Structure 1
Amino acid sequence: MRFQTAFPRCRRPLAWFPVIVAIVVACSVGQHEAKAEPFRAAQTAPFSSDRLSVEVIGTGPDVILIPGLASSREVWRPLATRLAATHRVHLVQLAGFAGEPWSHSDGPFVQPEVDDLARYIAEAGLDRPAVIGHSMGGLSGLLLAQQHPDRVGRLMIVDALPFYSAIFGPTATAESARPFAARFASGMLAADDATFRSQQAQSAMGLARDPAMRETMVAWSMASDRQALAAALTDVMTTDARPGLANMATPVTAVYATDADGGPPPAMAQGLWTQEYASLPGVTLIAVDGSRHFIMADQPARFDQLVDDFLK
């Protein structure tokens, strides 16, 4: 199945819609380990959920890190290790991704994990923590802030739109995207392992610039539960958070990738992100040039600085 042909309105879906182009959002942390601070003692939060688990490291103001589709929490490891010197970092792992068990067949994915994120914040006694989410994790953070504004202090969205299927044209709606989501999910479930791996290897080129990173992304994708991926993909394509933007009071920073050499063209990216977040009061939009979807991997120094600015 070639996702590129499903929506003829989109000229460059590989650059624009990584969640559909590749059912993988994970990256290698190995190349950053030498620069990371010594690992700080971690503990698993005493929180009961079949949707997610949380690892906690460091001390200080609370920061929650939410990974994207198919990702392990390890996508955040270099950042989390650095932040642990000054913050208490909560690394979320979503069920069904990167080897984590999944027990919900093809049922809903996004809203139940948003519900459990809200419950985690309440049960852990966190006072309006900062939330950073990548890709689907960014959408989850946005929904969390909309539905529970009293539980999120500020939100950073990393390369995620409030409605992913808007990439396919200004007339796209959740309902018009539903049959395409069903087609993508069905094709993914039907593919044998060899075909699926080949699809991910091809698609990974549009998600990160580094060849080693791409290989690790494919490995995380292969370790994920296909039913979980299909359920998450369906939800991502058919969840439109734009109607709730106008009433939000949570400070939001939306960071997005641009890459004239094989990724999202800068002018097109700016136009799309500006348009889709136009109704969100006070949103800060920041482009990161020379990066594809995994900004934290392609431009780590720049991303670290943006996170530090966000947390000040």
Structure 2
Amino acid sequence: MFRTAKTALAALASTFTALLALQVQAAAAPAAAATQQRQDLLLSVRGEGRPVLMIPGLNSAASVWDETCTRLQPGVRCLMVQLPGFAGQAPLASPEGFLEQIKGQLQTLLKQEAPQGATVVGHSLGGVLGLMLAADNAGASVRQLVVVDSLPFLPGIQNPAATVEQVKPMAEGMRTGMRNAPSEGLRAQLTPMMAGMTRAPERVETLVQWGLASDRPTTAQAMYELWTTDLRPLLPRIQVPTTVLGSWAAYERMGSTQASTRAIFARQYAGLPGLDLQMSAQGYHFLMWDDASLVLGAVKKALAAN
């Protein structure tokens, strides 16, 4: 138990960062899906009906959404995207400006696959991309948004008054360290940390495998951009129904409570009109596995509003 709220917040920020930096996906055997290369994205399409764009997080594979997609059937057309550089997918030619590059490619994909708009579901880094798409909703490509355990400004967990300029030196050091870290021992680092990302021990080895398969320069650049991108000023632009799902169970052992964790999310999303904020009392970072009913319910509610 931490002795001060400041210490608890610092630990929460450190753990949340570790979860983002090391998150990888444990894939169940995927059902048959049509797979297509779309620019640098690998798109898997399953089902027929209302389109749902599913964006995975840092180092994750598209199949992180397999179980969610299966439980949404019938009547839903899942558009599951594999982001470049993660979980074995070929990286971008240059990772600089990773978030903006991927946002542009996702906008193009939505225009092609869902010209009338789609429900967008994003986990972690995928949630950040979902917020970016909704804030720049040209052509009304995003009709509803579900954000799974993601924040608009990661450093704000520890210091709500922090600015991008203040955190850049730290973020640059983190990026350099991630790029230059030796490969030896990476498995040993990943394995014990996976227990903090999901309650399912049987997924841990697959999580490690996906982490080892991710492109290190891509991961380092994406983490740098997550730390130096503040989407809070853009939140008032988001005019579509938005549900944010947060986890706190993984941080309970560090002295955090559901109320204190919820307060962090509420503070960060204060500028988002009509926010529906829900906290999982049982899930760790991968809520689509640990609290599947919560995620499924949020997506079904978004679809019902269409």
Question: Is TM (by shorter chain) over 0.5?
Answer: yes
Name the residue aligned to 2:181: 191
Write the letter of the residue equivalent to 2:35: T
The Cα of 1:111 is off from its aligned counterpart by 0.9
Instruction: Give me the identity figure in percent.
Output: 32
Q: How does 1:63-212 map to 2 (within 5 A)?
A: 63-149=52-138, 150-212=140-202
User: CA offset at residue 132 of structure 1?
Assistant: 0.2
Q: Which residue of 2 aligns with 1:6?
A: none
How far off its partner does 1:179 sit?
1.4
Question: Are the counterparts in 2 of residues 13 and 21 from structure 1 also a CA contact under 8 Å?
Answer: no
Shift of 1:125: 4.4
Q: Kindly tell me: are residues 185 and 310 of structure 1, through their superposed partners in 2, closer, same or farther at Cα, counting changes over 3 Å? A: same
Count of aligned pairs? 296
Gaps of 5+ in 2: 1-5
Which residue pairs with 1:278 in the alignment?
Answer: 270
Cα drift, residue 74 of structure 1:
1.1
How much has 1:292 moved relative to structure 2? 1.2
**Conserved? CA contact 1:96–1:224, under 8 Å:** yes
Give the letter for the 1:282 counterpart.
G
Paired amino acid for 2:49: G
| Residue 298 (str. 1) matches residue 290 (str. 2) | yes
What SS is found at the alignment partner of 1:272? Answer: helix
Report the CA distance shift for 1:184/1:225 in structure 2 as closer, same or farther (over 3 A).
same
TM-superposed CA distance for 1:255, in Å, is 0.6
Partner of 2:22: 24
Which is further off, 21-30 or 294-303?
A: 21-30
Equivalent in the alignment of 1:56: 45
- Which segments of 5 or more consecutive residues in structure 1 lack a partner in the other structure? 1-8
List per-residue Cα deviations over 1:120-178 (Å, max 9, x = no partner).
11123431100000000000000011112511001000000111111121121112221
Task: Give distance in 2, aligned partners of 1:13 and 1:303.
Answer: 27
Deviation of 1:228 after TM superposition, in Å, equals 0.6
CA offsets 1:280-300 (integer angstroms, 9 cap, x no match)? 110100111111111111122
Deviation at 1:14, TM superposition (A): 5.5
TM-score, normalising length from structure 2? 0.89
201-210 or 155-164, larger mean C-alpha shift: 201-210
CA 1:97 to 1:298, structure 2 compared with 1: closer, same or farther past 3 Å?
A: same
- Please report the RMSD computed on the Cα atoms of aligned residues, expressed in angstroms: 2.2
The answer to whether the Cα contact below 8 Å between 1:70 and 1:97 also exists between their aligned partners in 2 is yes
Judging changes above 3 Å, is the alpha-carbon distance between structure 1 residues 10 and 196 closer, same or farther for their aligned structure 2 residues? farther
TM-score, normalised by the number of residues in structure 1: 0.87
Say which SS state the counterpart of residue 194 (structure 1) adopts. Answer: coil
- Match for 1:215 among 205, 212, 232? 205
Q: CA deviation at 1:20?
A: 2.3
